[in-house]
Amino acid sequence: MKKKVYVALSADILHEGHINILKKASKLGKVTVGLLTDKAIAEYKKLPVLNFNQRKQVIKSLKFVNYIIPQDTMDYRPNLLKLRPDYVVHGDDWKKGVLKKSREQVLKTIKKWSGKLIEPKYTKTISSSLIKQRLKILPDIRDNRVAILNRLLQAKKFIRIIESHSALVGNIIENLRINGKMNTVEEFDGFWSSSLAESLIRGKPDNESVSLETRITALSDLADTTFKPIIFDADNGGRLEHIPYLISSLERQGVSAVVMEDKIGLKRNSLFADQSKTKQDSIQNFSKKIKIASEAKRYKDFLIVARIESLIIGTGVNDALKRAISYSRNGADLILIHSKDKTPHKIFKFAKMFKKSKYFKPLIAVPSSYSKTHEKDLKKNNIQVVIYANQLLRSSHLSITKTALSILKNKRSFEAEKNISSVNEIINLK
């Protein structure tokens, strides 16, 4: 009987490195490719450009491949235990970095049936990631920009969104990344189009003085120059009759999700201490809004987010839970639970209760007032998306004020130079 060989691949952009590995593997026996799903890939790098089925079609047509099975995590063990291969083949680059742990697990597992790990030398100059960098290919290409947030939600345990009030901010955020622990890359996953920020940059209060139409039109600068998903803050979504038009305008701009909050009447920003004049919509009415929005979407991946204001207004965790269940049953894809407390206790309590419901939906938190809360604690408490809703606007407000004051005081700009970006840095922005 021919020997069994296992090769795990993401195979987003196929290059000669993959072919070498597969060719070597096929000389050893029948090759099963464990094709990494989006979820497995997102555990250690960016989402692939091509989705699972597209990649599968390419791999299926290769003469060195006999079978394909999905590999849903970077832990190889479940597939290895199922297949019990005689050989696992992998480039020797995984001896260091993020995949080191996977490698150790593989070695320990296949030893049980005297399986062998074969590690052809990895060629440093070829990798899908390098090719993508060179070609500036991003996973979120224009055609499926709407869908990218939904894809991320399926693939990543935690998603980080930040307010971007201009294309310039978008440009900075799009390209900002740092190396995290174990060679992983840390970055922001998408943009928040905030009603607060969009009002303030126009010199107006956050009370719907700036129309949704103006805000949607203004999105085109950000949409034109970036690729990451956009979440749009639509206040309470406006009148029932207008909601289908709102949804279609957002979809046309490539927006991935709309957030509508369950407030009525003249809008006041939720972070004001005094909310005595703020009115919450009835559960019935707002559920209807959510239903209309959900039925209006033309892209199945466009997401409707119901934002609950019970903790802002003071109607409490139980009220929030009742609302979450009703909004979820009426078509909300996610729930944003807002609070202006200094701690996330109530949010975590709500999340724990909601998690037990069969109507549970992924949760979003906006830690503006409870900014001490670390992402890892949000994650641990069933929050999948964090939105940093206003920090970049606040940072530009302070920075602009300081620079203007310095010029006013010193009667020249020299003293301010050390605290501002150099001309070179900004003229080289791409």
Active site residues: 206
Residue 32: DSSP 8-state: E
CB of 278 to ligand SPV, least distance (A): 11
Among 32, 270, 280, 384, which residue interacts with ligand SPV (rule: CB under 6 A)? Answer: 270
Q: Give the residue with the Cβ less far from Mg ion, 180 or 265.
A: 265
Which of the stretches 68-76, 268-276, 341-349, 417-425 binds ligand SPV when contact is defined by CB under 6 A? 268-276
Residues 190 and 150: beta-carbon distance below 8 Å: no
Q: Which stretch binds Mg ion (CB under 5 A): 73-81, 233-241, 288-296, 399-407?
A: 233-241
Close Cβ partners of 87 (under 8 Å, ≥ 6 residues apart): 3, 4, 5, 6, 25, 28, 29, 115, 116, 117, 118
Work out whether 389 is an interface residue with ligand SPV (CB under 6 A).
yes
Residue 167 neighbours by CB under 8 Å, 6+ apart: 221, 222, 224, 225, 226
CA angle at residue 370 from 163 to 148, to 5 degrees? Answer: 35
Q: Environment class of residue 93 by beta-carbon count within 10 Å: exposed (0-12), middle (13-18) or buried (19+)? A: middle
Distance between the two ends of the chain, CA-based, in angstroms? 57
Which of 37, 275, 368, 381 is in the footprint of ligand SPV by CB under 6 A?
368
Among 86, 189, 233, 281, binds ligand SPV (CB under 6 A): 233
Measured in whole angstroms, the distance separating CA 25 from the mean position of its chain's CA atoms is: 36
Residue 36 near residue 10, CB atoms below 8 Å: yes
* Comparison of 22 and 293: residue with beta carbon closer to Mg ion: 293
CB of 391 to Mg ion, least distance (A): 14
Q: For the CB of residue 262, give the shortest distance to ligand SPV in the complex, in Å.
A: 13
- C-beta of residue 406 within 8 angstroms of C-beta of residue 416: yes
- Which stretch in 267-275, 295-303, 376-384, 416-424 sits in contact with ligand SPV by CB under 6 A? 267-275
* Amino acid identity, position 89: V
Residue 355 host element (H or E): helix 345-355
Quick one: tokens of 208? 């719907």
Q: Which does 37 bind (CB under 5 to 8 A by kind): Mg ion, ligand SPV, none?
A: none
> How many CB atoms neighbour CB 353 within 10 A?
16
Quick check: 172 binds ligand SPV (CB under 6 A)? no
Binding status of residue 66 toward ligand SPV by CB under 6 A: no
| Binding flag, residue 396, ligand SPV (CB under 6 A) | no
Provide the mask over 181-200, with x wherever binding to ligand SPV is found by CB under 6 A and - wherever it is not: -------------xxx----
Is 366 a binder of ligand SPV (CB under 6 A)?
Answer: yes
> Which residues make Cβ contacts (< 8 Å) with residue 43, sequence separation at least 6?
73, 74
Please, what is the minimum distance in Å from the beta carbon of residue 196 to Mg ion? 5
Rounded to whole angstroms, the Cα distance separating 384 from 364 reads 6
Q: How far is the CB of 410 from ligand SPV (least distance, A)?
A: 35
Residue found under tokens 């970049």: 392
Give the residue with the Cβ less far from ligand SPV, 77 or 340.
Answer: 340
Tell whether residue 201 is a contact of ligand SPV (CB under 6 A).
no
Site for Mg ion in 182-211 (CB under 5 A): 195
> In whole angstroms, what is the distance from residue 88 CA to residue 5 CA?
6
Applying CB under 5 A, among 86, 189, 233, 333 the residue interacting with Mg ion is 233
Interaction between residue 275 and Mg ion (CB under 5 A): no
How far CA 202 is from CA of 197, 218, 304, in Å, comes to: 9, 11, 27
Chosen residue from 144, 166, 249, 269 binding ligand SPV by CB under 6 A: 269
Interacting residues toward Mg ion by CB under 5 A: 195, 233
Interacting residues toward ligand SPV by CB under 6 A: 194-196, 206, 233, 269-271, 366, 368, 389-390
